[in-house]
Amino acid sequence: MGEHFRRQHPVFGYIPDFICINKKLIIEVDGGYHFEGEQPEMDAERTRYLNEIGYTVLRFTNEEVLHDIDGVLEEISDALEEYKTNQAPLPSGGVGGGFRVGMGYDVHQLVEGRELWLGGIKIEHRLGLLGHSDADVLIHAISDALLGAAALRDIGYHFPDTSDATLNMDSKIILRQTVELLREHGYAVGNVDATVCAERPKLNPHIPQMQACLAEVMGVEPGSISIKATTTERLGFTGREEGISAYAVALIEKI
Ligand SMILES: [Zn+2]
């Protein structure tokens, strides 16, 4: 325990008297020994380093704190004011570096006489998903998550299921165009995490192939795409194998 408290701070290299991390302010109150020997040089070097990493260092003597607390407080308040005026305005996308999240959800009915397309690949199964396009429920959920993150409506808005152009459409085209649309609006895809709910077929063996396929379509690393498969324990429409549903969340970044 004692050792823990004596350890130097990993960022500052010593233990400052007072740190306000979110205002990047360090206050040192120096005893007499700070004015003797090598200490002033070490203090100056340390202050230079702290300034370099964006911190303001205020040094007060014990005397100042004891006999001129108003002056000390004024200096602290000036430093905080200066910090406030130097802050760049937040990007319009939100807090921090302009990261945004979106979620998507989709369901398609399972019927006989249709191919089963999931995550951009064809899977052998006696039933397939019914829809105007190829009904790739996973791609639809991911595309909606991406559009949602950019507040650009949903895939029904951009690819209406009443249009001949989208009849039996390969959903990879929808995903590719969604990513392009985001790029036109200044967004890059960060990562995607999705879950497919299906009683059958077993999807786990197909996940690496879906991941590689979607990463290629979206122009990202496979590690940026996570796909999970689950059953719903025979409950509900997915449990009765009447349909397959998919959920997705996506993170995008303003570039
Ligand atoms: Zn759909």
What is the model's pLDDT at position 1?
40
Do 72 and 131 lie in one domain? The reply is: no
The sign of the torsion formed by the CA atoms of 158, 163, 165, 166 equals: positive
The answer to whether 171 touches 203, Cβ cutoff 8 Å, is no
Question: What number is the average pLDDT over the span 212-230?
Answer: 97
Domains contained in the chain, number? 2
54 and 24 within one domain: yes
Q: How far apart are CA 50 and CA 59, in angstroms?
A: 13
- Condensed to tens digits (0 to 9), the pLDDT of residues 92-133 reads 544 455 899 999 999 999 999 999 999 999 999 999 999 999
Q: How many CA atoms lie within 13 A of 99 on its CB side?
A: 7
Convert the pLDDT of each residue in 240-251 to its tens digit: 999 999 999 999
Encode burial over 139-176: b for 16+ CB neighbours within 10 A, e otherwise. Answer: bbbbbbbbbbbbebebbeeebeeeeeebeebebbbbbb
In CATH, what number is assigned to the domain containing residue 229? 3.30.1330.50
Q: For residues 242 and 116, state if they share a domain.
A: yes
Strand 99-112 relative to strand 116-118, pairing: unpaired
Question: For residues 46 and 35, what is the distance between their CA atoms, to the nearest angstrom?
Answer: 15
Same domain, 64 and 109: no
pLDDT score recorded for residue 252? 97
Strand-by-strand arrangement of the 25-30 sheet: 18-20, 25-30, 56-61
Span from the CA of 223 to the centroid of ligand 1 (angstroms): 24
The whole model's pTM is what?
Answer: 0.65
| pLDDT exceeds 50 at position 166 | yes
**Residue 130 in contact with residue 106, Cβ under 8 Å?**
no
Residue range(s) defining the domain that contains residue 73? 6-86
Q: How far is the CA of 107 from the centre of ligand 1 (A)?
A: 6
Distance 67 CA to ligand 1 centre (A): 72
SS3 20: strand
- If you ran DSSP here, which 8-state letter would residue 21 be given? G
In a domain, 92, yes or no: no
* Ligand 1 centroid, distance to 99 Cα (angstroms): 26
In a domain, 122, yes or no: yes
Q: How far is the CA of 127 from the centre of ligand 1 (A)?
A: 16
In one letter, which amino acid is 40? P
pLDDT at residue 91 above 60? no
170-192 pLDDT tens trace:
999 999 999 999 999 999 999 99
CA of 92 from ligand 1 middle (Å) equals: 31
Same domain, 59 and 129: no
Q: Give backbone dihedrals phi and psi of 28, rounded to 5 degrees, phi first.
A: -115, 130
d(CA 181, CA 214): 16
- Which has more pLDDT, 78 or 22? 78
SS3 167: coil
- Indicate if 68 and 109 belong to the same structural domain: no
**Nearest alpha-carbon partner for 103 in 184, 193, 180:** 193
Ligand 1 centroid to residue 151 C-alpha, Å:
19
In angstroms, what is the span from residue 133 Cα to ligand 1's centroid? 8
Give the distance (Å) from ligand 1 centre to CA of residue 45: 61
| Cα dihedral 228, 252, 154, 216 in deg (nearest 10) | -60
**38: CATH:** 3.40.960.10
